[in-house]
A and B are shown apart, each in its own frame.
Chain A
Amino acid sequence: SAVISQKPSRDICQRGTSLTIQCQVDSQVTMMFWYRQQPGQSLTLIATANQGSEATYESGFVIDKFPISRPNLTFSTLTVSNMSPEDSSIYLCSVVKAPDNEQFFGPGTRLTVL
């Protein structure tokens, strides 16, 4: 298995500000992802965090709004920039571990934008 921690676990932010969410894994993983789960909805993939290169974003998500870093195999950050109330959501870090390619999820960061 993989133990994933996220910081902060929750935050309340003002409109127009930015928040950086950290994801730390207890072991090296092959792939890391960032998801969003809006209230009452299923998960939506934001991007794949690539080590040492730019993240790969899904349709509807752009780097200027959600810049992502992945400096090594166990750590990644997601920034939610210039926030608006529509960004209120749970943001989840997820990893895939070899050799069985099981996917694990972090506990999530609950973001409320006022």
Chain B
Amino acid sequence: DAKTTQPTSMDCAEGRAANLPCNHSTISGNEYVYWYRQIHSQGPQYIIHGLKNNETNEMASLIITEDRKSSTLILPHATLRDTAVYYCIVRVGFSGSGANNLFFGTGTRLTVIP
């Protein structure tokens, strides 16, 4: 699986949109972009994933560039509870041996400021 590059940390004012970038310049055509977050002392939480098109759910939006070499996770109205480490990973689907090549990088530590 392709590796990703994320900023080490970011701050965001409460109530504002948090935009978390991720570079995945070596992504392959069959690899998805997944986002997770981990709040201190808890297991990672799934946020959203996508292949080519932009995606939106109740938690966030995922914007993937046309060349798929980068993406942005958007939390539209950040709250203090969104303070966490956010991981961007790229992966093939879960069939066959693809799941054996997962790579969680160091992520972005997002701090939402009151």
- A contacts, CB < 8 Å to B: 4, 30-31, 33, 42-45, 48, 56, 58, 92, 94, 96, 101-108
Contact = CB atoms under 8 A, between A and B. Distances in A.
B42 A102 contact: no
Interface string B66-109: 00000000000000000000010000011001011010111100
A69 B102 CA distance: 21
Interface residues of B, number: 20
A4 B105 CA distance: 23
A43 B44 contact: yes
A96 B99 contact: yes
A94 B87 CA distance: 15
A33 B100 CA distance: 9
A30 B104 contact: no
A82 B102 CA distance: 27
B104 A44 contact: yes
A42 B104 contact: yes
Given A31-B99, A58-B100, A96-B99, A103 B107 contact: no
A67 B106 CA distance: 27
A78 B98 CA distance: 21
Nearest to B34: A103
Interface of B: 34, 36, 41-46, 49, 87, 93-94, 97, 99-100, 102, 104-107
Contact of B43 (A48, A58, A107): A107
B104 A106 contact: no
Contacts of B100: 45, 48, 56, 58
23 contacts: A4-B43, A30-B94, A33-B99, A33-B102, A42-B104, A42-B105, A42-B106, A42-B107, A43-B44, A43-B87, A48-B100, A92-B43, A92-B44, A101-B94, A103-B94, A105-B36, A105-B43, A105-B44, A105-B46, A106-B43, A107-B42, A108-B42, A108-B43
A48 B104 contact: no
